[in-house]
Structure formats: structure tokens, C-alpha cells
Structure 1
Amino acid sequence: MKLADIIRHTEANLVVGSDLDQHDLKKAFSSDLMSDVLTLDTENILLITGLTNPQLIRTAEIADIEVVLLARNKKASAEMIELAREVGVVLLETPYSIYRASGILYKNGLEPVY
């Protein structure tokens, strides 16, 4: 699923990143447990989470996650935004809950990791 489609389906705001056609995400994973995220061995993943701290960006970097969707109207801090730019992680913010965003994206063809 293209980044533009994810933004449209979840009414998300693009906080960090550009070139909406560059990312073609195949699967999504929803979690607030970064230890679970670190166990993933899949490429082209969208991470949906409610966490808003710099460790989230570091975890995404380590797990090779290109795009993070912050749910529940959570806002990225200035530190997160700067770090995401440095490491090349796309940051999105949606007003939707994790459950709703996951369901909408699944319904529109984005497969789960598990």
C-alpha cells in the first residue's frame, strides 16, 4: 500500500518524510511494546503505535521499519521529528485509535505481520 493511501484511509498528517510513492508497504504491525517490534523479521512494514518518545524512532531504525503511524491523536515531539529526519523514518499522525486504523488499513488490503 502506498503512503498516500495510508494517509487518505486514516486521515493522517505527514509529519516527516516526502515522496509519497516511494514507500510501498506490504504489512502492518500494531504495538506499544517495542520489545515485540524488535522481534519482527519482515520488510516493508508500517508500525502503528501510540508511543511518542525518541526510543520509538530508534526501535524503528533497528527493526528497519520505514513508516510509523502515531495513533490516538498523539503528536511527535521535536526530538522525535529531528531523529526521524536523521535516520529516514517517515512519521504520520492520525486521530484514529490503533484498533480503528488497523481495521481500516486491513480492510483496504494491508496485510498483518501475523
Structure 2
Amino acid sequence: MRLSKIIQLLECEVLTIKDEDPEIESVGAADLMSDVLAFGGPGMILVTGLNSPQCVRTASVVGAAAVVIIRKRNVPETTIELAQELDMPLVHARMSMYRACGILFREGLGDSLEEGKHLG
């Protein structure tokens, strides 16, 4: 599924975007960035309630295609600036993690953070 479709489904506010529209293969939902580092990988979209620059940095390290910050929180300018520096698409969905993940699951996206999945 293309990132543009996810933005539409989750009614996201776009904070940073790349010229291309990356294909998203799976979803990783976590607030603990150690889980993302352990089980995340390329082609995933990170859905998180964490709004600090650390979520963008972690997504970049694992090769995630984009970050969705959820809930009705303001996203700090430092987080947006880092996303721009790292060329990481960053969007904001003002809904619960449960709802966001339910919508993406219904649309057929799988779980990126399922233990052992990235090990083949």
C-alpha cells in the first residue's frame, strides 16, 4: 500500500514528505523504541505515540519508510526538523493507536514487529 493511501485512510496531517510515494509493506506499532530496533525493518511504517526526535531517528536506523505519530499531541519542531534532515516522511494522525492499527489491519497490512518475523 502506498503512503499516500495511508495518509488518506488515517486522515493525517503531513509534517514532512518525500517526492516519491513509498510502498509500505507492514506496520510496526510501538512506543518502546527498543522494540522497533529489535524487530523493525525496511519497508515498514512506524505508528507511535512517541513524539520526540527519537522516534524519527529509530525509524531511520531500521530503514522504515515513514513515521505516523498518533494521538492528539503536538509534534515538537525538533522532531519535524530531524525528519526533514533524515528525509523521513512524518505524519500526524489524531486518533488512538488502536484505531489507527485497526484501520491498517483491515486494509491488509501485516505486523512488522512480530517476534522473529525479520529473521525469515
Q: TM-score, normalised by structure 1?
A: 0.92
Q: Which structure 2 residues correspond to residues 49-64 of structure 1 after superposition, within 5 A?
A: 49-64=48-63
Q: Show structure 1 runs of 4+ deviating over 6 A.
A: none
How far the C-alpha of 1:41 sits from its partner, in A, is 4.8
Gap runs ≥5 in structure 1: none
Query: Any idea what SS the aligned residue of 1:65 has?
Result: coil
Identity of aligned residues (%): 35
Partner of 1:17: 17
Q: Per-residue deviation at 1:52?
A: 0.8
Give CA-to-partner distance per residue, 1:30-88, whole Å, 9 cap, x none. 00000000012532001000001111111111111120000112232111111101111
Across the aligned residues of Structure 1 and Structure 2, the Cα RMSD in angstroms comes to: 1.3
Answer yes or no: is the 8 Å Cα contact 2:4–2:21 preserved in 1. Answer: no
Query: When the two structures are aligned, how many residues end up with a matched partner?
Result: 113
TM superposition score normalised by structure 2: 0.88
Letter in 1 for 2:6: I
Q: Residues 57 and 41 (structure 1 numbering): CA distance in 2 closer, same or farther, change over 3 Å?
A: closer
Residue 39 of structure 1 corresponds to which residue in structure 2?
38
- Counterpart in the other structure of 1:66: 65
